[in-house]
C-alpha cells in the first residue's frame, strides 16, 4: 500500500490588495484636487449652459445698451476674457489628464499584481486537485486489490 501525498497547504504570502482610489486620494495635493474639480466642472453640461447664457447676456446688453456699452461690437474685451479662460482651462485640464494617466498606470500595475496573485493561487489549487486525482486512483487501485483478494463471489457490501 503506497502512502498518499498532498501538497502543503497554500500560504498567502503577499500583501493585501489595495484600493487605488484610497491610495491616490491620500497622495493628492490641494492643487491636484483643485485641478480635478475644475476639469470636472468645465467638462460638464451645466458649465456649458451657464457660459452660453452669460455670453448671450453679454451680447444682448452690449448690443441694445441705452448707455455707453462697455464692450461694443466686435466684443474685443469678451474675446480677451474667453482667450484667457481657454489658456488657463487648457493647462488645468492637462494637469488633470496627467493625473488620470498616472492613475491608469497605477491601476494597470495593480491589475498585473492581482493577476500574478490569482495565477499563483490557481496553480496551488490545480496542484492540490492533481494530488487528489492521484489519491483517488490509489484508493481505487487498493479497492480493486481488496476485491480481487476476496474472490469473485464477494459483492459490494462485503468490504467490511
Which of the pair, 30 or 10, is modelled with greater confidence? 30
Alpha-carbon span 121 to 105, nearest angstrom: 24
Cell numbers at 9, concatenated: 497547504
18: left (phi over 0), alpha (psi -120 to 50) or beta: beta
pLDDT tens per residue, range 105-132: 989 998 998 899 899 999 999 999 999 9
Q: At what angle do helices 30-42 and 45-63 cross, to 10 degrees?
A: 70
Q: Rounded to 10 degrees, what is the CA torsion of 97, 98, 101, 103?
A: -100
Question: 87 Cβ partners below 8 Å, 6+ apart?
Answer: none
Is 131 within 8 Å of 5 (Cβ atoms)? yes
Model confidence pTM above 0.85: no
**Nearest in space to 4 (alpha carbons), one of 117, 137, 95:** 137
Amino acid at each position: 500500500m503506497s502512502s498518499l501525498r498532498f501538497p502543503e497547504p497554500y500560504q498567502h504570502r503577499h500583501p493585501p490588495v489595495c484600493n487605488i482610489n484610497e491610495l491616490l486620494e491620500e497622495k493628492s495635493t490641494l492643487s491636484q484636487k483643485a485641478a480635478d474639480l475644475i476639469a470636472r466642472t468645465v467638462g460638464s453640461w451645466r458649465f456649458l449652459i451657464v457660459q452660453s447664457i452669460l455670453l448671450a447676456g453679454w451680447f444682448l446688453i452690449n448690443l441694445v445698451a441705452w448707455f455707453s456699452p462697455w464692450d461694443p461690437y466686435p466684443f474685443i474685451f469678451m474675446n480677451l476674457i474667453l482667450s484667457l479662460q481657454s489658456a488657463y482651462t487648457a493647462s488645468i485640464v492637462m494637469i488633470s489628464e496627467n493625473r488620470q494617466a498616472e492613475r491608469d498606470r497605477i491601476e494597470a500595475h495593480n491589475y498585473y499584481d492581482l493577476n500574478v496573485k490569482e495565477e499563483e493561487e490557481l496553480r496551488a489549487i490545480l496542484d492540490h486537485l492533481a494530488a487528489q486525482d492521484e489519491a483517488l486512483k490509489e484508493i481505487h487501485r487498493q479497492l480493486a486489490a481488496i476485491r480481487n483478494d476476496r474472490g469473485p463471489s464477494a459483492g459490494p457490501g462485503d468490504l467490511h
